[in-house]
Chain A
Amino acid sequence: MSKGYLGIDIGSISTKGVIIDENNNIKASEYLWTEGDPLKAVKRLLSTLKLQLADSQIRIVTVGTTGSARKLIGAMTGASVVKNEITAHAIGAMSIHPEVRTIIEIGGQDSKIILIENGIVIDYAMNTLCAAGTGSFLSSQAQRLHINIEDFGRIALQSTKATPIAARCTVFAESDLVHKAQIGHKKEDIVAGLCKAVVANYLNNVGKGKKIISPVVFQGGVSKNIGVVKAFEELLGMPVAVDPNSHLTGALGVALLAKKSRVEKDFFFDITDIEFKTVGYDCKKCSNNCEIICIYREDQIIDAWGNKCENGAVH
C-alpha cells in the first residue's frame, strides 16, 4: 500500500481533482462542471477518482482544497490544507515549470497574473468586480455562435483577419460582436476576434502595470483554447507554454501543499455515500444580520461560519 495525496480545486464553473503519489506523479485526475452545486460536484469527482485508482494500491492520507468553495469542501472532506487558489496555482505551476517567471491563469469566472522571481511569488493580481474576458464569457459567445467551446480555438486559427471586437467590457463586446456578424464578418474571424478581445482585456485589466517576463506559463480552463494561446503569443511577442495538465494546476498545487503539510489522516471515498447539506440563516442578534452557514454531515453539524462577532457563534 503506498500513500496518495488528494488535491481538489472547486471553482465556480469547474471542479478539478488530482491524486499524486510520493514522487508527485499524477495517479488519477478529473475535470467536471460544478453546476452551481459544489457538494454534489465533489461527490461525482470522488467517484471518478476512486474508479481510476481501483487497481492501484494507493491509500489517500491527506486532502487539500482550493478554489472558491475550498472552505465548504474542506469541511466536507476533512482537509488538512485549505488554501487560496493564487498560492495553489503558483505552487502547481512551479512544480511543472521550475523556471517560470509569469503565470497567466484564466478560469471560468476569474483571471489572475502571478509574477515569480527565484521560486517565490513576488506580485500578483486578480480580476475584480467584473468577469469580462474569462471562460464563461467565451462559452456564452460560443453558444450564441452555435459552436462547441471545444472547437473554439481551432476555428479561430482558420481566420486570416481577426475581426476587431471591443475588449473593455463583456456587454460592449457582445453588442460589437452582434453588429459585426450582421454586417457580414465571417464566423472564424469573429471567433479569432473574440480570442484577441479576451487577451486584450486581460492585459489591460489584470496585467495592468505588471511586467510580463518570459518564461510565461498559461493555465486554467481557457488555456485549452489554442486561439487564446496564439493571441497571447502574438500580443506579448514571446512564447507561452501550456502544459497538458494546465487545467489541473490548482488541484495539483494544493495536493502538493497537503503533502508538504505532513498532516496525515486517512481519507475514505465512502463519503460519497454520506449526505452533506448546508443550512443558511440570518443571525438575528444585531442589525448586521450575518448570513450564517451551517454544514451538516448526516444530521450532525460539522462546521459553521459567516458570523462577524462572537454573538453569532454557532458552537
Chain B
Amino acid sequence: MEEIKASYPQLGNYCTPLELLFTEGFDVKYIVPPPITKKTLALGSRYSPDYVCAPFKYHLGNFIETIEAGANTLVQTGGVCRLQYYGELHEQILQDLGYRVNFVNMSKVQDTNPLTFYNGLKEINPQMSLQKIGKILPIVLKMFEYIDEAENFIRKNIGFESNKGAFEKVHADFLGDLRRVRKKKELKNTYRDYMKLFKGIEINKPADPLKVGIIGEYYTIMEPFSNHYLEKELAQMGIVVDRWMNVTNTLIHYPKKQIQKRIKNYAEYPWVATSMATIDRALEFARKGYDGIIHVKSFGCTPEIDAMPILQNISKDYKIPILYFTFDTQTSETGFNTRLEAFYDMIIMRKETKK
C-alpha cells in the first residue's frame, strides 16, 4: 500500500501542532502545506466559483500546492457557515481537475457523538489507534495554546522592538523547536524558555501607546497573507495590536455563555459563526478605551456582514472609530494602505486632543 501523506491547508502557524497530531496521533506522514502566497490565490481563484468567499479559494489553491508537494490525503473540516460546504465542493473540483487523492470531508460527520467523529477521522488512516490519539491530543492542544499565547505577546510588543526583526527571529526559532517536541515536559520547557527570550527582547514602548483591536472573520483574521499583513503594518506604525480570535479561544475554550451574556444589550439571540465573538470583542476593546478597532472579513461573509450594524452601534455608543476591510482576491495595496494610513492619522490626532 502507498504511504499515507496527509495535509490540511495552511492557517497562520498552526501547521506545527497539526503536524504533531497527524504524525504521532494519526500515524501518517504529514506534508507541511506550502506557505500562502500569490500563487496559492491564483491557483485557487482559477478553479473556484467566482462568488465564493476568499478562504475557499485559498484552501483550494493550497490543496493543489500540497498535492504537488506530495500529499495524497487531504482533510477538510466542517463549519458553521459556508465552510460546511467547502469540503464537498473542494473534493469535486479536485476530482474534476484529475487529482486522484483521498479526500476526507469531516463536515459529513458533524455529530456530537465522538465515536461517529472518530470513524470519520479513520478515513485518513484506517489503521489509526484511539490510544495514540488520546496520548498526543493533550499535547497538541497545549501546543495550539502556547503558540497563541506567544503570538499574543508578540503582537503587543513587536511594534516597539529596538532591533528590527528581533521578534520574528525568536518566533521562527520557537516554531522550529516546537516541531521536535513529542512530550508534555518538552513542550512546557520549550514554551517557558522562549517566553523568557521574548520577554527579554529590548523594546522601547511609550507609557501610553496607541492600541488597536482586530476583529472579524475566522480565516481572514488569522491568515496574514489574506489580510495584507495588517497586523505587521500596524505594528510598524508603532501600535499595540490586540487580537482575541485564535484557535485557543474558539475551538479549545470558547466562552459561548459568557459572550452571550456580555453582548445581551446588543444582540439578544444566538448568532452563528464568528459574529458573536466579533461583537463581544468590539465591546471589550471599546470598554477598555482602545484607540480604534479594525474589522476584517472576506467579501460576502454573511455572519460578519450581520455583525456590522451592531458594530456601528458600538462605535457610536463608545465613540470608538472602526475601520472596515473587505478582502477578496485583489492584490493591489494602494487602497488598503490609503485607508490604513488615514486610520492611523485619525487615531493619533484623536489621542493627542484627548490629552
Contact = CB atoms under 8 A, between A and B. Distances in A.
21 contacts: A68-B334, A84-B339, A84-B342, A84-B345, A86-B342, A87-B345, A87-B346, A120-B350, A121-B350, A122-B319, A123-B321, A126-B338, A126-B342, A128-B326, A129-B326, A129-B330, A287-B34, A287-B38, A289-B37, A289-B39, A290-B38
A143 interface: no
Given A84-B338, A85-B338, A121 B34 contact: no
Nearest to A208: B312
Interface of A: 68, 83-87, 118, 120-126, 128-129, 209, 211, 286-290, 308
A175 B346 CA distance: 40
B209 interface: no
| Main SS class of interface, A | loop
Interface string B338-355: 110110011001100100
Given A121-B350, A129-B328, A288-B39, 5 more contacts: A128-B335, A129-B330, A287-B40, A290-B38, A308-B229
Contact of B349 (A84, A121, A128): A121
B266 interface: no
A124 B39 CA distance: 34
Contacts of B37: 286-289
A240 B102 CA distance: 63
Interface band, chain B: 20 to 34
A120 B353 contact: yes
Nearest to B232: A308
A86 B39 contact: no
Nearest to B308: A209
B338 A86 contact: yes
Contacts of B321: 122-123
User: Which secondary structure characterizes the binding site on chain B?
Assistant: helix
B138 interface: no
A257 to B, nearest CB: 10
A164 B346 CA distance: 38
Given A120-B350, A121-B345, A288 B38 contact: yes
Contacts of B337: 84
B299 interface: yes
A286 B321 CA distance: 37
A194 B334 CA distance: 29
B341 A87 contact: yes
Contacts of B35: 287
Contacts of A128: 324, 326, 335
A209 B39 contact: no
Contact of A120 (B334, B338, B341, B349): B349
A118 B319 CA distance: 14
The 6 closest A-B pairs by CB, nearest first: A86-B342, A288-B37, A84-B341, A209-B312, A87-B345, A287-B39
B341 A122 contact: no
B255 interface: no
B176 interface: no
A124 B229 contact: no
A120 B348 CA distance: 10
Contacts of A83: 341, 345
A129 B309 contact: no
A42 B172 CA distance: 44
Contacts of A209: 309, 312
B299 A86 contact: no
Contacts of B309: 209
A308 B315 CA distance: 33
B352 to A, nearest CB: 8
Contacts of B229: 308
Contacts of A211: 316
Nearest to A12: B334
Interface in B289-340: 299, 309, 312, 315-316, 319, 321, 324, 326, 328, 330, 334-335, 337-339
A249 B169 CA distance: 45
A221 to B, nearest CB: 17
A287 B37 CA distance: 6
Contacts of B319: 122
A60 B90 CA distance: 60
Nearest to A290: B38
Contact of B342 (A87, A118, A120, A289): A87
A308 B35 CA distance: 13
B346 A68 contact: no
A12 to B, nearest CB: 10
Contact of A124 (B34, B335, B342): B342
Interface string B20-59: 0000000000000011011110000000000000000000
